[in-house]
Every structure is written in C-alpha cells, then in structure tokens.
Amino acid sequence: MYEEVLKVVDLKKRFGNNEVLKGVSFSIGKGETKVVIGPSGAGKSTMLRCINRLVEPDGGKIYFKGDEITSKNVDIKKIRSRIGFVFQHFNLFKHLTALDNVKIGLKIVKKMSDKEATERAYKALKMVRLEDCASKYPAQLSGGQQQRVAIARALAMDPEIILFDEPTSALDPELVGEVLDVMKELSKKHVTMLVVTHEIGFALGVADEILFFYDGVIWERGKPQEIIYKPKKKETKDFLRRIFELYSRGEEE
C-alpha cells in the first residue's frame, strides 16, 4: 500500500543572481529508492539540503509524512532527527570513535540512555559490517569505511528516509564498491532512500525511479530501464552519452 513519505512541490532556490532550483517537484513513497542523476554543479546537492532545511528554500513546499515542514512553526530539529543524511565528504565527527559517532545522535537528540544507545549503535555498525572498527577514530579508517560508518550513523536514528549526497564521489575507485554494496542491501530491505549519484549501475540495479535533474528542474523521470536505455529528451541523451563515454573509454584502450 503506497504511503507517501516525502513530497516536494515546486521547490525554488537562488544564490544571488543564480537561480539554482527553478521549481523541483517529486514525491517518494515508503520503501522506495529514487535516484537523482544530472550534470555536476546543477543544484542536486542544494535540493537535498533544502529537504532537511540545511539550506532554506526561497519558494515551494516540502511535505514530510503529510506535514508541511517548510512552514514557520515547525521544530526543524525534530524533523531532522527523522531524516537521515549521508554527506559526500562523510563528515564523521573527528574526535569520536566510530561507535561514538553512531551513538551521539541517539544520546543527545533522541535522549537515549547510554546502554540503549550503545546497543543500537552496535546493531547499526553490524549492518554496515564494521562492528570490528567500533573503537577506531575516523583518521584511522579508509574512506570507504568512514562512509559506511556515516551510513550507520544515519541508520541508527531509525529515520523515515535517508538522503544520500553523492556518497561515493569522494572515494578512490576501489573503495566505491563496498559503499554501494551497503546501499544496495538497504534498498533491498526497503529503506526509503533518495540518492544523488553518478553511479548508473547502482541506479539500474535498485532504483524504483530515476529523476534526471537539469536546469533547476526534474527534466525527465521514469523507470531505470526507460531512462537509461530509451531517454526521451535531448539533454538526457547527451548527459547519458557523456557518462557512458567516460566509463567505456577505458575499455577501448
């Protein structure tokens, strides 16, 4: 039964003279995985940050589980604790161990007891297969491990949806796979996910819908097989062609 988790209506944002979001609209239902692709610097990160209001939108409305979260009276901290966010540069708290990174939100925001928080945190680390690294500091972990801890940190809060902002773009190529594997597992477990990424393979594998973001709006959307192999609009075709050239050039040589 379809249950709407997130609805974005006509989202607008400008920085100075630069209109970055010109009216973005889409919605995500419970258990769905939607992937946003598009040219770099177009505003995809800004769009994600508007959803949990790390960036304040200039126009439009956002509904989270039916409630309008763009209105003034909303306790945004409470909302944020129900929306998970995984950053491109991980943003793990550098002075805390992996376990403490996962625990801190639980203790401070969800006000859990230390015992409960530790249990939950371990469970989350197990889900990303890093329970052995619990007492390591971020500086002692590889990029892929750090990002997985960041995913655990978001998961432990038991969010209704997790937003991923290019989670593998800052990783060395050989580390990308371990993070994508974790994300695929989550998707298969019906975690509601909105993922901004260049990883077309991931999108093809688990996305329920792909949104092509271009010129400040969702230019085209559809099922993965349709968008990737039978794109309708010119800009979508151009973008996908450039991506495939990027991936296939290596093979020719």
Partner 1 sequence: MNYEYILSELSKGIVCTLELTALVFIGGFLFGFILSVGRTYGSRFIRWLSIGYIELIRGTPMLLQILIIGFGLPIAIRNYYPDFTINSFWAVSIAMILNSGAYQAEYFRGAFNSLEFGQTEAGLALGMSKWEIVKNILLPQAIRRAFPNFTNELIYILKYSSLAMILSVHEMTYQAKSVGAVTFRYGEIYLLLGALYLAFAFALAQIMKVVEMKVYIPGVTTRVEKRGLL
| Residues near partner 1, by CB under 8 A | 52, 54, 77-85, 87, 89-95, 104-105, 108-109, 137-143, 146, 150, 153, 157, 170-172
Closest separation between CB of residue 92 and partner 1, Å? 7
Measured in degrees and rounded to the nearest 5, phi and psi for residue 238 equal -60, -45
CB of 83 to partner 1, least distance (A): 8
When the beta carbons of 95 and 242 are compared against partner 1, the nearer one is 95
CA–CA separation, 103 vs 125, rounded Å? 10
Closer to partner 1 by Cβ: residue 47 or 157? 157
**245: its two tokens:** 């050239």
Q: Among 45, 22, 51, 13, which residue's Cα sits nearest to residue 196?
A: 45
Which residues, other chains included, contact 208 with Cβ-Cβ below 8 Å and sequence gap of 6+? 32, 33, 34, 223
Q: Give the residue with the Cβ less far from partner 1, 104 or 240.
A: 104
Tell me the CA distances in angstroms from 11 to 46, 62, 216, one per residue in order. 11, 8, 9
- State in angstroms the smallest separation of the CB of 234 from partner 1: 35
- Distance of closest approach, residue 67 Cβ to partner 1, in angstroms: 15
Closest to partner 1 by CB, 97 vs 187, is: 97
